[in-house]
Amino acid sequence: MPQIPTITDINEATERIKPYVHRTPVLQSSWFNDQTGAELFFKCENFQKVGAFKFRGACNAIKKLPKHDGKKGIVTHSSGNHAQAVALAAKLNGYKATIVMPKNAPKVKVEAVKGYEAEIVFCESTIDAREETAQNIIRETGATFIHPYNHPDVIAGQGTSAKELLEEIPELDAIFTPVGGGGLMSGTLLSAKAINSKIKVFGVEPELADDALRSMKSGKVEPVLRTDTIADGLRTSLGELTFEIIQSHIDNIVTVSEASIIRDMRNVWERMKIIIEPSSAVPVAAIMDNKVQVEGLKVGIILTGGNVDLDTFKW
């Protein structure tokens, strides 16, 4: 098993990726504060390069690679945002990227990967199909695999978002993030708990993809059973590494319904005038549905991305 990153790794990642990433803004909303009785601070990774926090982890992992490895190419599999992140980070380093994507990935994400000049190989949407396809490419080309979440450098990179948030709002009582593969969740836990051991950190999943909650109960990594949640970034299971970190540090994991995700995605669009993708609305929904008591607290929420297919809007 790869080693668990430390706060030193996260600090080094911060310096390593600083020239490439946006320091994303932290927004507030009086409407959401009124609704919840809490003071909410939204860390806007939807404004990050490629439209999602994923660029932080991919950029850190690819920047750290020895040049002779990078020259053989980069491979990954992803339902979308990690794909764009690897494609752009590889391009910035002059490496070739090959991205394995599930056939049902949103069109907007496929187009974006193409825009970063990566090669795309489509496969079935199961985790097995993705991994097998990626392994075949590695065998043929000697390319380096950048796992979307079960990778210490990726986790350290994702941890830089919570670090920035806590630099800006050090008095936070709690931080909420969604849980998909657990990369952001792990990075956030390592970062936040090292900076302030008293801070509470909560993970939120769609009810339809509650694998992390089930994994916490059973004590081992449980698979996602369905891939039909609207929160397309959260359709993956935990990895061994992210599971270990989450199990050791997390305060609680809660779940939210599809209806609540859609409701609060729309609330964020209407009230805050920013575009978030469904996965970003998952922690917002947990707070709005009172799944964790936050009244009177200062709460950080990481809005993970803003890549939505806008074709259905009547332009």
Check residue 310 for interaction with its own copies (CB under 8 A): yes
Check residue 146 for interaction with its own copies (CB under 8 A): no
Closest CA to 313 of 103, 108, 110: 108
Check residue 20 for interaction with its own copies (CB under 8 A): no
- 237 Cβ contact list (under 8 Å, min separation 6): 127, 181, 211, 215, 221, 222, 223, 224
Minimum Å gap between C-beta 228 and its own copies is 16
DSSP string, 68-104: HHHTT-EEEE-SSHHHHHHHHHHHHHT--EEEEEETT
Check residue 84 for interaction with its own copies (CB under 8 A): no
Q: Which phi and psi angles does 240 have, rounded to 5°?
A: -60, -45
Q: Are 164 and 196 in contact (CB under 8 A)?
A: no
Closest CA to 10 of 146, 152, 166, 151: 152
Indicate the residue among 94 and 313 with the shorter CB distance to its own copies.
Answer: 313
Part in contact with its own copies (CB under 8 A); list of ranges 67-75, 116-124, 139-147, 258-266: 258-266
Minimum Å gap between C-beta 5 and its own copies is 28
The residue within the footprint of its own copies, chosen from 9, 10, 51, 157 (CB under 8 A), is 51
Indicate the residue among 217 and 266 with the shorter CB distance to its own copies.
Answer: 266
The residue within the footprint of its own copies, chosen from 262, 288, 289, 298 (CB under 8 A), is 262
Residues 94-133 that bind its own copies (CB under 8 A): 108
Binding residues for its own copies, total number by CB under 8 A: 22
The residue within the footprint of its own copies, chosen from 244, 269, 288, 289 (CB under 8 A), is 269
- 314 Cβ contact list (under 8 Å, min separation 6): none
CA 162 to chain centre: 12
Closest CA to 196 of 221, 220, 151, 163: 163
Indicate the residue among 4 and 274 with the shorter CB distance to its own copies.
Answer: 274
Minimum Å gap between C-beta 69 and its own copies is 28
Check residue 26 for interaction with its own copies (CB under 8 A): no
Residues 180-219 that bind its own copies (CB under 8 A): none
Check residue 34 for interaction with its own copies (CB under 8 A): no
Closest CA to 48 of 235, 277, 205, 313: 277
Distances (CA, A) of 73 to 60, 169, 244: 16, 39, 30
Check residue 92 for interaction with its own copies (CB under 8 A): no
Check residue 314 for interaction with its own copies (CB under 8 A): yes
- 288 Cβ contact list (under 8 Å, min separation 6): 32, 35, 36, 260, 263, 264, 267
The residues binding its own copies (CB under 8 A) are 25, 27, 46-47, 51, 108, 262, 265-266, 269-270, 272-276, 306, 310, 312-315
